[in-house]
Structure 1
Amino acid sequence: MGKSQKKRQMRRHNPMRVPDSHLPHGLASASASSSKSDAILPILQKMENVDAAERKWACVAVSNLIQNDPATRRLLQGKNVVGALITRLSDSEEEVVVEAAGALRNLCIDGGYDICGEMYNKGILSPLKSFVPKLSTTLSQFLENPKNAAENVQKLVYELADNVITIFWCLSETSSKALTTINQIGLVPFLMSFLAAREKLPLSTVTSAAQCLYVLSDDNPPAINEIRADAAYTACLISIVQPEGADVSVNGKGKEASVERQVSLRVLCCGILKNISPIPPPSIAATIELDRDVTLPTLHPVLTSISLQETSATVEDLLRQQDAIPEIDKLSIKNAPKSDHKSPVELELERIELRLRTLQLSLEILTGICATLPDPEPVQENTETPQEDEDNGMDDEDEEEMLMDENTDTNDADAPSSSFLPALVSPLLPLVQPTPLSFPPPAGGLSPHPPTTSVLSAIHICALECLNNIFFSLATPKKGQDPSASLRSEVESATQVWNAIWRALEVVGTNFNQPGQERRREMWNLAVGVLWGIGIVWKGVLVPIENQIRLLIEFCDASVDQAVKVKCIGTLECLAQHPQSTDANRVISNYLLTHLPSSSRPTPPLVEPCLQALSAIIDIYSDETLPYDINFRQGGYVNTLASSMEAVRKVVRAIDRKRERELRRRGEEVRDNLVAFVEYRRGLRL
């Protein structure tokens, strides 16, 4: 088991706000799937029209056409709409530039990796980079003399800034190449200026700047160092999270949406502070216990502020209202649609999505806080030619000493106290329970409201990652302390938590092999890790249930991911150690033995599941006085284990000592334990 961490190549739980994996690939398929294919050609033609109003119309039309419509988005992408819109970023008319940036922004948000990668390859960063100094100068003028600029001019500039910042954010989040280039632009001062002037700027634009900073500061040393280096930056972030007196001012209409954005802004600043920690003096943030005094007090209320079940029902009701209202503003060539024209239902759906995204963000930050163990240092590439010799010129004693030296240099100063971990479990459990809108229909097709489905499934996954890290931390004693010791007597709590995860999995179901159902599989992948953590904390307490054992075995066999198989085996191991469940113990043990290597096995076993299964058998039967030990004796397990020892040695020898050093060390440990265990059991003569 391991803690969940954000990976740079897959930082967003769902990089596509409107997923399209349910659609067949190919331009012809996209054309057949889209109900708006006839509108594509006129739009692309008008993108090159000499009339600026027509060009503006075409840019706005793209945003309207792709709204919650992945088939049309894919069709437009196949017709090079990205290249056409990038060209419009250099248009002579400012309104065309703003609308082109808005259409690209929406494509980024809805389309994810592929579209962001295409934008980078087609040179979008060149015009975006040129906007930064121009926007900085114009915004400075607005702030110094706000009365000198007309309101419509200010609105245009703020909208362009919001669009440009959001595109930077999406590109940074989905493309490592784009991130490298964006680092060279030096966006931090530009973005921090929005946060510093937050009381005089639209809250939506300030929030976009904070979102971009949050992404840029995520495991990205250039941005982290730049924010850390300026004490004014960190003081500004602290002042947003812990405002003195009045909160962030509300600019514009929509008080409820503004309140949601204020919460989102504070959560984002918590995330930035977490990303750049530890913060050095002389910053005021260096004197504060960030996790305890700032981050957790900000995030905890967000976790309990919303019921996903009620929210799902509200969205379904809004969709019914939307269907009942006749569409007045149909897309037409004569009447250009307005990019900011949204019905009350659409505005309410956006407000709900913003609130859900803030909850998702809170869970992502909390996942990092709950990962209390230090990260492993990356193994340096060794350019030497690998040798066939098992020793590689280094004996086991030397290598052990080197590993001990590396592992003792860990820093626990930033690890939060584990005392808060059990208190977080209760608010997290409702967040893993799927709603009717959490996944696309099992029979195929699009969700009734893809953005809501996207964020709901992301919330479930984030909540599971938090729970995984909590139980991983509880199950891993540090410095002689065992934070789970006080929990082991709470049998009722163990059962409640265990059953809550299984209730969620029952709703998720096992129909996750169809296109569009990837989130269901991801839920299972994460949930078995949580089950393993629960099993370790309450080992011997949880009563195994036949149907759950069967599902775990089936999921283990069906999975192609070795890490997932290890989680399943680890969970089964914990269930097998319930003293009175002799039958369940026998079923689990017989299954674990199937992962062992033997001379009669036609194909070699997968290494990690094999080692985990061996370790599990040894652990389960390490105490011969337990009632279920009768299975070990009657099943002749000691002979089975003895006959596999030579095959196990071969499996371990085949693990590359240089490339998979930790796995090799574990393999050798399991091999030695197996030899000692067989000797011990035979010595008992039972």
Structure 2
Amino acid sequence: MGKSQKKRSMRRHNPMRVPDSHLPKGLASASSTSSKTDAILPILQKMESPDAAERKWACVAVSNLIQNDPSTRRLLQGKNIVGALITRLTDSEEEVVVEAVGALRNLCIDGGYDICAEMYNKNILVPLKTFIPKISTTLSQYLDSSTTTPENAQKIVYEFADNVITTLWCLSETSNKALNAINEIHLIPFLMSFLAARDKIPLAPVTAAAHCLYVLTDDNYPAISDVRTDAGYIACLLDIVKSDQVPNGKAKEVSDPRAVTLMVLAAGILRNLSPLPPPTAAGFIDIDKDIVLPLLQPVIASISLPETANTALELVTRLAAEPQLENLSLKNTPKTDHKSQIELELERLEAKMRTVQLALEILTGACATLPDPEIEIPGKDEDDVDEDEDEDLVIVDEADVDMQEDAPQTNGPTTSFLPALVSPLLALIQPTTLSFPPLAAPSPHPPTTSALSAIHISALECLNNVFLSLTTTPNPSVSADHASGRKVWDDIWAALSVVGTETGLGQERRQEMWEVAVGVLWGIGNVWKGSLVPKEEQVKVLIQLCDATSDPRIRVKCIGTLECLAQHPDSIEGNNMISQYLLSILPSGGSPSPAGTEPLIQALSALIDIYSDENMPYDINFRKGGFLNRLVSSVDDVKKAVKAIDRRKEGGRELRRRAEEVRENLVAFIQYRKDLGL
């Protein structure tokens, strides 16, 4: 049962705001689905105009056209708008440069990885690097109390800094190549200068800098090292998380939700840096226990998703009734940030949801407090392993173990903290009316839908790690509370029944919900094994999901969940239905398993576990159904399947080791059942 890990694609405050995977590919389809095709040519022409006012207008128009419109964005991308905007970054007029950066930032946010990769390949970092020292110098001048710079001029610079930093942040998530190139810029002092000046400058560039720091310090040693070597940086981050925005364990309403976002990001950055270096007092702080859990629990409990969805629907209805101004004439040059009050309210709502999503992501890491039961430590070249030499497959590098044992326990709370998270997490997985709209009736506000579905999935991933930790280090008081186990189980299924099983393009989030949820169900089943009744409808759904997916990991989770359900002592019919399905996964007559090798290994392990106690009431199914003969007839085919596992492939060594163990257990189990003579 694997831990849920942080997902880079879901990390941005606006990741893929308008999901477009359901749209057909190609320029022709983009032209046919965009309502603004006629506006594209004038924009492209004016982008190259000798008149600076026209060039500025063209950059602003790009931002206006792509808002919540993936078809137009794709059409512009197909016309090389990225290249044209990057060219404008070296424009002779500063106002054109400012608007070009703003347009590129919006393309990064709305377009996702494809556009970010295109920007990197077209050398956007070359001009962006030149802006860093200029922004730093200007920021220093503004922080000097003697400055007389007009407020409006300062506002433009801060917006420019926000756009540059956000673009760098998005690019750093694009690929390892882009990340390595950004590492070479050594952004840490630049970014930390915004956090240090947070009380004197607007929150927008400060939170953008914190977002960028959070991404850069995630498993990225150069950035981690740069932060850890300066005690002032760590002190600054600690000051942010200790601010009074979330006092006494209760989330306080603040005028700007970015204040809470900043604290959440600071907690995430500190977690990325942990363990904090001695000899400072900070080196003795348990990041998860003392900072992450107390700070983030009230954040995830502070939002009601049904209320949020209803508010968004009300705002969207009011927005539709407002007269829409089309300011795409040169006479009325629109501003990039020209938004109505209702649009700003919708953005604030989305920002709050993205903060909750971010908190969930950090908590997901905190809940992965323990190593997986079986860990494959990278060691010698797998090509050097002989086909039948298995002794080295279980060797673990002792230095790695010593390091894990000696390190301060800053990577997670004890499992006693975990049950307190379950209730708010269960509330966050329940879909709203806006969470999963059918393809036939698209969302009235895609950004809200994107944020809601992301929260549901992030909460499920956090639950996955909670129950994984509770399985790996059992908490007797939790597993003894059967009523709570049944309630948690029922709440997961209640959410899934609302999600439904609609598939196809544009319904990827529904599928993702199921794929993550089945891992949670397996964890719940392990914690409360033997107390959960295998309801026929739920068993059939799990079997259908197992058969429908081509992903062996999802099949393994389904089989693991079924195994737990089959061990309810009094459910003889349910046990038989599950066992018959598990037996159908076994190879027979020289034919391989229809489910694949990894699910086969899990199914065998499940059957052995289910029928290891012949005194259970459901053991009658094993005896009357002739299960022993079925297992005996599969032994040779199982051995072939195990031998066929390629240890040179990723995960192959661990799978081969486990498969060998299960095969040996199968032989021993068969002998045990024969000896019983039942």
* Normalised-by-shorter TM-score class: over 0.9
Deviations 1:101-148 (A, max 9, x none): 000000000100100000000110000011111111111111114532
CA distance in 1, matches of 2:499, 2:296: 27
TM-superposed CA distance for 1:657, in Å, is 3.7
Query: What residue in structure 2 maps to residue 492 of structure 1?
Result: 483
Q: 1:672 to 1:378 in 2, by over 3 A?
A: closer
CA distance in 2, matches of 1:195, 1:562: 44
Match of 2:263 among 245, 266, 274: 266
CA distance in 2, matches of 1:674, 1:473: 28
Q: 1:650 to 1:405 in 2, by over 3 A?
A: farther
CA distance in 2, matches of 1:615, 1:606: 14
Query: What residue in structure 2 maps to residue 454 of structure 1?
Result: 450
CA distance in 1, matches of 2:95, 2:670: 78
Query: What residue in structure 2 maps to residue 16 of structure 1?
Result: 16
Q: 1:227 to 1:381 in 2, by over 3 A?
A: same
Query: What residue in structure 2 maps to residue 672 of structure 1?
Result: 664
CA distance in 2, matches of 1:568, 1:638: 23
Structural mapping, 1:340-379, within 5 Å: 340-374=337-371, 376=375, 379=378
CA distance in 2, matches of 1:181, 1:332: 39
TM-score of the aligned structures, taking structure 2 as reference length: 0.95
Query: What residue in structure 2 maps to residue 252 of structure 1?
Result: none
Comparing 115-124 with 661-670, greater Cα deviation is found at 661-670
Query: What residue in structure 2 maps to residue 250 of structure 1?
Result: none
Match of 1:509 among 489, 500, 503: 500
Deviations 1:567-614 (A, max 9, x none): 000000000001111111111000001111222536665111000000
Query: What residue in structure 1 maps to residue 404 of structure 2?
Result: 410
Deviations 1:74-115 (A, max 9, x none): 000001100011011111111111111000000000100100
Q: 1:605 to 1:292 in 2, by over 3 A?
A: closer
Structural mapping, 1:228-243, within 5 Å: 228-243=228-243
TM-superposed CA distance for 1:656, in Å, is 2.8
Query: What residue in structure 2 maps to residue 111 of structure 1?
Result: 111
Query: What residue in structure 2 maps to residue 132 of structure 1?
Result: 132
Comparing 47-56 with 116-125, greater Cα deviation is found at 47-56
Q: 1:404 to 1:628 in 2, by over 3 A?
A: farther
TM-superposed CA distance for 1:380, in Å, is 4.3
Q: 1:256 to 1:471 in 2, by over 3 A?
A: closer
State how many pairs are aligned: 667
Match of 1:299 among 296, 299, 306: 296
Residues 88, 96 of structure 1: 8 Å contact kept? yes
Query: What residue in structure 1 maps to residue 417 of structure 2?
Result: 420
Query: What residue in structure 2 maps to residue 536 of structure 1?
Result: 526
Query: What residue in structure 1 maps to residue 468 of structure 2?
Result: 472
Deviations 1:451-477 (A, max 9, x none): 111111111111000000000000112
Query: What residue in structure 1 maps to residue 381 of structure 2?
Result: 382
Query: What residue in structure 1 maps to residue 673 of structure 2?
Result: 681
TM-superposed CA distance for 1:404, in Å, is 7.7
Query: What residue in structure 2 maps to residue 565 of structure 1?
Result: 555
Match of 2:316 among 306, 315, 319: 319
CA distance in 2, matches of 1:245, 1:449: 29
Deviations 1:289-342 (A, max 9, x none): 221222211101111111001100110010000111111344335421122221
Residues 95, 156 of structure 1: 8 Å contact kept? no
CA distance in 2, matches of 1:146, 1:624: 85
CA distance in 2, matches of 1:57, 1:488: 63
TM-score of the aligned structures, taking structure 1 as reference length: 0.94
Query: What residue in structure 2 maps to residue 251 of structure 1?
Result: none
CA distance in 2, matches of 1:202, 1:215: 21
CA distance in 1, matches of 2:595, 2:512: 24
Query: In structure 2, what residue type is equivalent to 1:682?
Result: K
CA distance in 1, matches of 2:285, 2:403: 25
Unaligned runs of 5+ residues in structure 2 are none
SS of the equivalent of 1:475 reads helix
Residues 246, 295 of structure 2: 8 Å contact kept? no
TM-superposed CA distance for 1:174, in Å, is 2.3
Q: 1:241 to 1:548 in 2, by over 3 A?
A: same
SS of the equivalent of 1:198 reads coil
Residues 585, 628 of structure 1: 8 Å contact kept? yes
CA distance in 1, matches of 2:13, 2:589: 43
Comparing 319-328 with 554-563, greater Cα deviation is found at 319-328
Comparing 93-102 with 4-13, greater Cα deviation is found at 4-13
CA distance in 2, matches of 1:14, 1:602: 45
Residues 240, 266 of structure 2: 8 Å contact kept? yes
SS of the equivalent of 1:185 reads coil
TM-superposed CA distance for 1:52, in Å, is 1.2
Residue 310 (structure 1) aligned with residue 300 (structure 2): no
Unaligned runs of 5+ residues in structure 1 are 248-254
Query: What residue in structure 1 maps to residue 602 of structure 2?
Result: 612
CA distance in 1, matches of 2:617, 2:146: 81
TM-superposed CA distance for 1:439, in Å, is 2.4
Aligned-CA RMSD value: 2.1
Deviations 1:456-506 (A, max 9, x none): 1111111000000000000112xxxx31x2123322211110011001111
CA distance in 2, matches of 1:206, 1:243: 15
SS of the equivalent of 2:49 reads coil
Query: In structure 1, what residue type is equivalent to 2:216?
Result: L
Residues 442, 511 of structure 1: 8 Å contact kept? no
Q: 1:184 to 1:337 in 2, by over 3 A?
A: same
Residues 356, 455 of structure 1: 8 Å contact kept? yes
CA distance in 2, matches of 1:262, 1:136: 23
